[in-house]
């Protein structure tokens, strides 16, 4: 009998050439390209193609993909109707899971993977991928208006992916610096090897289920507090601390109560998460560009990180990607409960790359178990129990 490892910790679930992490050195690379270079030079649109196709696109390939994304931003009137009927108090991740799953009702059998034929059909895979990546941003932005009782803002095909999302979300053409920061955030969240949500893509994809239900399952996995969602808590924590001079007392109190500091620590990294380093630089740039006129949370965050480094570095606990992303999203006017939905929008690229990789060499997942129940026994009639 093979050894049972809770959570499959350390058990390879697949072979993949999409991304790689070196947790000791603090390196993350997509298709061999370091995340720092992608954050500096790439765009979310280009990073999607890199993840999906395995290579940097030519100018013509990127233009075509970008055009396809722009043309696929609108969602059907019925989806909008469905969203309007959801309770406005519901969490955005619940809305997103429902809305993405419902797309499968509108793009059914003809495009479905019946018989597995689509495993060979790269056009089908590409077209579905475009629909999902383009529409997830639309649906998250639409929800912000619908849940507040307004009509959603119509997408604009002349704007980039990040610009259009912020435009649809806030109703205003975004500040170019904030749009670029969002673009970098999307790049940084687009992929991160095999985690719970990506594993669910492999499992669901391996049954040849409709891709919309594959991505809906991944959204469900990401919605759990042990996976997505820490950045929402970071913002709550920074607000609670309030001013930088209260950071030390707060951190020490939490640590002595054996509570976690949100946005600190990562199972894969024993050093600072490279994505947090990039986001921290963006925070500094934004503070400088605004002449220091930013939300007080920025200063509180910096002080919390300094204190945590002093108290937690010996345990290999440093800031993770969630530590700075939330405050940047807040600066864009995005409420905290939407942060995980933005994570999902970005991660759709990685999920779909893994879906495609799974289909290319598919075998249905069917793990085994270690049975720890009763031995064989005879049925007892109800009158004798």
Q: Which residues bind ligand COA (CB under 6 A)?
A: 230, 260-267, 312, 315, 317, 320-322
Count each helix (H run) and each strand (E run) in the chain, helices first: 16, 3
**Least distance (Å) from ligand COA to the CB of residue 8?**
14
Question: What does the DSSP 8-state code read for residue 376?
Answer: P
Residue tagged 């396809």 (tokens):
68
Assigned token pair, 29: 């690379």
- Residue in the shown chain whose Cβ atom is closest to ligand COA: 265
Q: Verify whether residue 158 is a known catalytic residue.
A: no
Q: Which of 66, 183, 273, 322 is catalytic?
A: 322
Q: Which of 189, 266, 273, 354 is catalytic?
A: 266
**Least distance (Å) from ligand COA to the CB of residue 320?**
4
Neighbouring residues of 211: CB distance < 8 A, sequence distance ≥ 6? 104, 113, 128, 132, 205, 352, 355
> What is the distance between the alpha carbons of residues 18 and 206, in angstroms, rounded to a whole number?
17
> What is the distance between the alpha carbons of residues 42 and 38, in angstroms, rounded to a whole number?
5
Each as own residue / partner, the long-range contacts of residues 194-197 (CB below 8 Å, 24 or more positions apart, any chain) are 194/13, 194/14, 194/16, 194/354, 195/227, 196/221, 196/222, 196/224, 196/226, 196/227, 197/221, 197/222, 197/227, 197/228, 197/347, 197/351
By C-beta, is 126 or 254 nearer to ligand COA?
254
By C-beta, is 158 or 259 nearer to ligand COA?
259
By C-beta, is 169 or 250 nearer to ligand COA?
250
By C-beta, is 130 or 219 nearer to ligand COA?
219
**Least distance (Å) from ligand COA to the CB of residue 262?**
5
**Least distance (Å) from ligand COA to the CB of residue 316?**
7
By C-beta, is 27 or 312 nearer to ligand COA?
312
By C-beta, is 246 or 311 nearer to ligand COA?
311
**Least distance (Å) from ligand COA to the CB of residue 23?**
10
Q: Verify whether residue 378 is a known catalytic residue.
A: no
**Least distance (Å) from ligand COA to the CB of residue 260?**
4
Helices within 207-320 (DSSP H only):
211-222, 230-241, 247-256, 274-289, 297-312
Assigned token pair, 226: 């042990």
Sign of the alpha-carbon dihedral angle for 174, 180, 186, 189: negative
| Active site positions, annotated | 266, 322
């Amino acid at each position: 009998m093979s050894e049972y490892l809770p959570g499959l910790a350390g058990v390879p679930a697949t072979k993949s050439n999409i991304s790689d992490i070196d947790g000791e050195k603090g390196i993350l690379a997509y298709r061999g390209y370091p995340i720092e270079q992608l954050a500096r030079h790439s765009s979310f649109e280009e990073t999607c193609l890199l993840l999906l196709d395995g290579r940097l696109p030519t100018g013509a390939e990127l233009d075509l993909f970008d055009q396809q994304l722009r043309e696929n931003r609108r969602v059907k009137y019925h989806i909008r109707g469905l969203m309007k009927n959801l309770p406005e108090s519901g969490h955005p991740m619940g809305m997103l899971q429902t809305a993405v799953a419902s797309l499968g009702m509108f793009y059914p059998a003809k495009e479905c993977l019946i018989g597995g034929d689509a495993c060979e059909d790269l056009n089908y895979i590409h077209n579905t991928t475009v629909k999902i990546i383009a529409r997830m941003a639309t649906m998250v932005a639409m929800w912000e208006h619908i849940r507040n009782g307004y009509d959603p803002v119509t997408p604009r095909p002349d704007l980039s992916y990040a610009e259009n999302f912020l435009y649809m979300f806030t109703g205003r053409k975004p500040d170019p610096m904030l749009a670029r920061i969002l673009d970098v955030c999307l790049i940084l969240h687009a992929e991160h090897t095999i985690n719970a949500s990506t594993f669910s893509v492999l499992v669901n994809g391996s049954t040849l289920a409709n891709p919309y239900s594959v991505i809906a399952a991944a959204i469900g996995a990401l919605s759990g507090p042990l996976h997505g969602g820490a950045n929402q808590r970071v913002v709550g924590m920074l607000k609670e601390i309030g001013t930088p001079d209260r950071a030390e007392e707060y951190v020490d109190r939490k640590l002595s109560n054996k509570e976690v500091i949100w946005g600190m620590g990562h199972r894969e990294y024993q050093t600072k998460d490279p994505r947090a380093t990039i986001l921290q630089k963006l925070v500094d740039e934004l503070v400088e560009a605004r002449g220091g006129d930013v939300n007080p949370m920025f200063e509180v965050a910096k002080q919390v990180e300094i204190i945590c480094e002093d108290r937690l570095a010996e345990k290999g606990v440093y800031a993770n990607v969630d530590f700075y992303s939330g405050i940047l999203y807040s600066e864009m006017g995005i409420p905290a409960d939407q942060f995980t939905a933005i994570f999902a929008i970005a991660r759709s690229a990685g999920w779909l790359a893994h879906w495609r990789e799974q289909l290319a060499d598919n075998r249905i997942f069917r793990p085994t178990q270690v049975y720890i129940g009763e031995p064989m026994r005879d049925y007892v009639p109800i009158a004798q129990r």
